[in-house]
C-alpha cells in the first residue's frame, strides 16, 4: 500500500492507497482485461493452450461484438431488473453505513429470480432441444465483450453520479485521483430510488449468467457427443449451480461482506461482477464442452468429498458470523466466546472463527479445487481458477486485516494473538 495526503473538511489526512495507487489500478485493469480475453483465445477447440499462430489468426477473424449480442445482453440485464421489481421479496436492513447508524434496505428476491431463469431455461431446452442453446455458446465472445462495455459504462456512470447530491462515499475510494477512485469505487451505495446497483450486481447479472453459460456449454457437449454429457460436466454443473443457488438462498449474508459494507462500487466490482465471474468461472464447463473427460466412479467420489468438506466449512463459517452479528441470542451462537471491542462490535473467537481468522476463505478454496479437478490433467489452464482464487483470498485477507487493524487497534491485536492462523489452521 502507498500513502497520499488528502484533505478532509480542510484538515490534512493520510490516505492509504491499495493496489499501489493509480499506476497499480491501471495495471490491474489491463491485466484483468487481458486475462478474460486471453483465456478465451488461449483455451478453445484450437488447443489449450492454443498455438500462438492460431491465436493470432483467431483474433483477426473473430467478431468481438455485434449489435445482436449486445441487445441480447441488454435484454438479459433488463429482464433481471424487471424481475427485481415484480417478484416478491423480503426487505432486509443492511449494517449501519455511517456514525449516525443509517441502515439501507435491500429487496431479497435473488433466489426467486434465479429459479425463474433456471425454470424457463430448462423448459426451453426440454421443448426445443439442447441445440437451441447454440444461440448462447456460439456468442460467448460477443456476449463477453458486451458485458465488458456495460461494466465500463456502469463504472463511469456511478463515478460521475458520486459527485451529484450528497452521497455516502467509500472511505477507501475518495483519494481525489480520478483513475484510482473510478477503479476502486468512490460511491459506497449507488442507488436509483430503492434499487441498489451494487447489491444487484453482486448477486444477479454475473452469478446467474455464470450458471446459464454453464448450462449452454453442457448443451454444446451433449450435441457434440451425440446425446450424452460426461460425469465431469455433470459435476461442474452441479457444483456451480449449487454455489450460486446457495449464495442466493443466503442472499442477505452479502450485506455483511466487505464488498457491501466497505468497498465502493467502481470498475473493480462492476467488471468483477459482470465480466470476470460469469466468463472466467465458466472456464471448466467451456473446456469440457470441447474436450470431454470421463472420470469414473472412484475419481468422481473423491471430488464430491472435497466439495462437501469445502461447502461444510464455507457455509458453516459464513452463516455463523452472519447469525452472530444479526441475531446474537440465537441458540446456535449465544454460547460462543467473543471479544467485546471498544468500537462496539464483537469478534468471535470460538466455533469456526476460533480455528482461523478466515475459515470461510479456506472452505471456498477447497471448493475451487473440486470445481477444477473434474477437467482431469490434460491442461493446466482450467486450473486457473484455483490459482487465481488462492491469490485473491490471500490479498483479500491482507486488505481485511488492514481494515480491522485500523478499526479495532489493540482489540484486533489481541484477537490475532488468540486466533493465530490466518486462513488454513496449522498451515497459514
Provide the minimum distance between the beta carbon of 339 and ligand NDP in the complex, in angstroms, as a whole number. 8
Q: Is the peptide bond before 49 cis (omega within 30 degrees of 0)?
A: yes
How far apart are alpha carbons 356 and 109 in whole angstroms? 32
- Examine residue 360 and tell whether it contacts ligand NDP (CB under 6 A): yes
Q: Tell how strand 195-196 and strand 338-340 pair up.
A: unpaired
Options 54-62, 182-190, 304-312, 347-355: segment touching ligand NDP (CB under 6 A): 347-355
Provide the minimum distance between the beta carbon of 243 and ligand NDP in the complex, in angstroms, as a whole number. 8
Question: Which of 347, 370, 372, 423 is close enough to bind ligand NDP by CB under 6 A?
Answer: 347
Contacting residues for 83 by C-beta, under 8 A, at least 6 apart = 109, 112, 113, 116, 117
- Examine residue 204 and tell whether it contacts ligand NDP (CB under 6 A): no
Provide the minimum distance between the beta carbon of 361 and ligand NDP in the complex, in angstroms, as a whole number. 5
CA end-to-end span of the chain? 22
- Examine residue 321 and tell whether it contacts ligand NDP (CB under 6 A): yes
Options 195-203, 284-292, 303-311, 345-353: segment touching ligand NDP (CB under 6 A): 345-353
Options 10-18, 199-207, 372-380, 400-408: segment touching ligand NDP (CB under 6 A): 400-408
- Give the binding-site size for ligand NDP (rule: CB under 6 A): 18
How far apart are alpha carbons 371 and 367 in whole angstroms? 6
- Examine residue 275 and tell whether it contacts ligand NDP (CB under 6 A): no
**Beta carbons of 40 and 278 less than 8 angstroms apart:** no
Nearer of residues 55 and 404 to ligand NDP, judged by Cβ: 404
Options 3-11, 66-74, 80-88, 357-365: segment touching ligand NDP (CB under 6 A): 357-365
- Examine residue 162 and tell whether it contacts ligand NDP (CB under 6 A): no
How far apart are alpha carbons 186 and 170 in whole angstroms? 6
How far apart are alpha carbons 399 and 361 in whole angstroms? 13
How far apart are alpha carbons 277 and 120 in whole angstroms? 22
- Examine residue 403 and tell whether it contacts ligand NDP (CB under 6 A): yes
- Examine residue 273 and tell whether it contacts ligand NDP (CB under 6 A): no
Q: At what angle do helices 359-372 and 297-326 cross, to 10 degrees?
A: 150
For ligand NDP, the binding residues in 298-317 under the rule CB under 6 A are 314
- Examine residue 361 and tell whether it contacts ligand NDP (CB under 6 A): yes
Burial class (CB in 10 A: 0-12, 13-18, 19+), 103: middle
Question: Which of 154, 358, 366, 373 is close enough to bind ligand NDP by CB under 6 A?
Answer: 358
Q: Which residue has the cell 473473430?
A: 62
Buried b (16+ CB within 10 A) or exposed e, 293-302: bebeeebbee
Options 103-111, 263-271, 371-379, 403-411: segment touching ligand NDP (CB under 6 A): 403-411
Nearer of residues 179 and 339 to ligand NDP, judged by Cβ: 339
Options 32-40, 110-118, 202-210, 341-349: segment touching ligand NDP (CB under 6 A): 341-349
**Beta carbons of 187 and 169 less than 8 angstroms apart:** yes
Provide the minimum distance between the beta carbon of 354 and ligand NDP in the complex, in angstroms, as a whole number. 8
How far apart are alpha carbons 175 and 3 in whole angstroms? 10
Nearer of residues 284 and 360 to ligand NDP, judged by Cβ: 360
- Cα–Cα separations (whole angstroms), residue 112 to 86, 126, 203: 11, 21, 12
Provide the minimum distance between the beta carbon of 254 and ligand NDP in the complex, in angstroms, as a whole number. 8
**Beta carbons of 211 and 279 less than 8 angstroms apart:** no
Please report, as ranges, the residues that interact with ligand NDP according to CB under 6 A. 257-258, 314, 318, 321, 345, 347-348, 353, 358, 360-361, 364, 396, 400, 403-404, 407
Amino acid at each position: 500500500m502507498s500513502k497520499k495526503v488528502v484533505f478532509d473538511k480542510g484538515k490534512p489526512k493520510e490516505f492509504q492507497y491499495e493496489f499501489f495507487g493509480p499506476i497499480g489500478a491501471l495495471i490491474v485493469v489491463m491485466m484483468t482485461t487481458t486475462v478474460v480475453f486471453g483465456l478465451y483465445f488461449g483455451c478453445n477447440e484450437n488447443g489449450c493452450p492454443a498455438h500462438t499462430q492460431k491465436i493470432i489468426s483467431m483474433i483477426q477473424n473473430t467478431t468481438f461484438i455485434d449489435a445482436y449480442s449486445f441487445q441480447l445482453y441488454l435484454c438479459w440485464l433488463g429482464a433481471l431488473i424487471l424481475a427485481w421489481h415484480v417478484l416478491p421479496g423480503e426487505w432486509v436492513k443492511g449494517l449501519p453505513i455511517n456514525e449516525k447508524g443509517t441502515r439501507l434496505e435491500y429487496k431479497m428476491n435473488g433466489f426467486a429470480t434465479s429459479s425463474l431463469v433456471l425454470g424457463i431455461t430448462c423448459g426451453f431446452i426440454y421443448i426445443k432441444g439442447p441445440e437451441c442453446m447454440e444461440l448462447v455458446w456460439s456468442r460467448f465472445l460477443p456476449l463477453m465483450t458486451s458485458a465488458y462495455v456495460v461494466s465500463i459504462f456502469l463504472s463511469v456512470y456511478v463515478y460521475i453520479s458520486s459527485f451529484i447530491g450528497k452521497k455516502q462515499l467509500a472511505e477507501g475510494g475518495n483519494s481525489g485521483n480520478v483513475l484510482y477512485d473510478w477503479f476502486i469505487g468512490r460511491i459506497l451505495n449507488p442507488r436509483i430510488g430503492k434499487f441498489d446497483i451494487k447489491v444487484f450486481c453482486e448477486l444477479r447479472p454475473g452469478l446467474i449468467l455464470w450458471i446459464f453459460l454453464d448450462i449452454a456449454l453442457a448443451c454444446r457437449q451433449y450435441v457434440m457427443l451425440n446425446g450424452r454429457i460426461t460425469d465431469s460436466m455433470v459435476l461442474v454443473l452441479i457444483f456451480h449451480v449449487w454455489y450460486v443457488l446457495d449464495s442466493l438462498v443466503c442472499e442477505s449474508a452479502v450485506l455483511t461482506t466487505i464488498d457491501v459494507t466497505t468497498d465502493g462500487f467502481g470498475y473493480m466490482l462492476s467488471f468483477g461482477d459482470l465480466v470476470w465471474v460469469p466468463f472466467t468461472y465458466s472456464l471448466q464447463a467451456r473446456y469440457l464442452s470441447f474436450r470431454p473427460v470421463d472420470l469414473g466412479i472412484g475419481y468422481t467420489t473423491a471430488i464430491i468429498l472435497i466439495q462437501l468438506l469445502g461447502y461444510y466449512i464455507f457455509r458453516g463459517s459464513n452463516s455463523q458470523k452472519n447469525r452472530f452479528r444479526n441475531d446474537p441470542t440465537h441458540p446456535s451462537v449465544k454460547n460462543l466466546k467473543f471479544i467485546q471491542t471498544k468500537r462496539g462490535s464483537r469478534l468471535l473467537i470460538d466455533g469456526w472463527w476460533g480455528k482461523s481468522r478466515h475459515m470461510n476463505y479456506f472452505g471456498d478454496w477447497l471448493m475451487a479445487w473440486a470445481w477444477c479437478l473434474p477437467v482431469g490433467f490434460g491442461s493446466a489452464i482450467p486450473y486457473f481458477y484455483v490459482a487465481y482464487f488462492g491469490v485473491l483470498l490471500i490479498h483479500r485477507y491482507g486488505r481485511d486485516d488492514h481494515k480491522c487493524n485500523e478499526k479495532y487497534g489493540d482489540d484486533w491485536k489481541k484477537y490475532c494473538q488468540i486466533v493465530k492462523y490466518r486462513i488454513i489452521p496449522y498451515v497459514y
